[in-house]
Amino acid sequence: MSALAAAASVLHRDLRRGRRRLGDLAQPLVFFTVVVFVFPIAIGPNAEVLRSLLPAILWVSALLALVLTLPEVFAADYADGSLELLVLSPHPLPLLVLAKAIAQWTTGVLPLIAMSALLGGVLGLDFNTWVAVELGLLLGTPVLCLVGCLASALAVGVRGGPLLLALITLPLYIPVLIFGTSAARNASLALPVDAEMLFLAGLSVLALTLTPFGIAAALRARLA
C-alpha cells in the first residue's frame, strides 16, 4: 500500500465515522447557534449595534465551537488503540495525521461555516460583509483546525479536556482572528479585503505545510 493510499484510507475511515455519528456532529452546531443568540441578549436589541458586532460574534462563536470539538479528534482512536497503530505504521505519520485533520475539518468545521452563513444571512449582514466573513472562515479555519489538532495531539489521553485545549490554542488563534475580523470590518466599510484574505490563505498554507510534522511529533511524544 502506498503512503497516499494509506492516507486516503485514513481520510475515508474518519469521514465514514463522522457520517455514522451525525448526532455528535450536530452538538457543536447547536452550541454555535446558542452562543450566537446569547450575544444579542447580552448586548441588547439595538439592530445597528448588533449588525456591526455580528462578524465578531460569528468569528468568536465559531472559534469556541471549534475548540470544543478538539478533544474528540484523537480521543476515540486513542481509546481503542488504533492511534498507536497509526504511529507504528510504516507510512509517513505527517501524511496520515494530515488526512485526519482534513477529515476533522470536513466533518467538524465545514458544517459550522455553513451554519454561520445561514445565521449571518438571517441576522442581516449586508452582502459584502457576509462574503468577507464566510470567505475568511473558509480560508482561516484550516489554520485553526490544524493548530487545534496539534494541541489535541499534545493533550491526548490527558485530563482537563476542552478547558486545557482552549487555554493552549486560543492565544495561537489570535492572528487568524485578527485578520478574519478586520477583513469583515473593512468589507462593512466597502474597503478592499484582499490583503487580509491573502494573509489568511498564506497562514493556511504555512499551517498545512508545518503543523502535520508538529502533530506527528506531538503524537510520538505522547505515545512513546
Q: At what angle do helices 47-69 and 22-43 cross, to 10 degrees?
A: 150
Q: Cell numbers 498564506 correspond to what residue?
A: 202
Backbone angles phi, psi at 176, to 5 degrees: -65, -40
Q: CB of 191: closest distance to another protein in angstroms?
A: 11
Q: Which of 104, 129, 182, 204 binds another protein (CB under 8 A)?
A: 182
Beta carbon nearer to another protein, 57 or 147: 147
CB 31 within 8 A of CB 92: no
32 closest CA partner among 62, 56, 59: 62
Q: Cell numbers 492511534 correspond to what residue?
A: 83
C-alpha 56/C-alpha 109 separation (Å) is 17
Which residues ranging from 84 to 103 are in contact with another protein (CB under 8 A)?
Answer: none
Q: Counting contacts by CB under 8 A, is residue 168 touching another protein?
A: yes
Q: Counting contacts by CB under 8 A, is residue 175 touching another protein?
A: yes
C-alpha 103/C-alpha 117 separation (Å) is 21
Q: Which of 179, 183, 184, 212 binds another protein (CB under 8 A)?
A: 179
C-alpha 109/C-alpha 197 separation (Å) is 18
Q: Counting contacts by CB under 8 A, is residue 190 touching another protein?
A: no
Per-residue binding letters, 135-164, with another protein (x by CB under 8 A) = ------------x--xx--xx--xxx---x
Q: Which of 167, 192, 198, 205 binds another protein (CB under 8 A)?
A: 167
Q: Which residues bind another protein (CB under 8 A)?
A: 147, 150-151, 154-155, 158-160, 164, 167-172, 174-175, 178-179, 182, 199, 203, 210, 214, 217-218, 221-222, 224
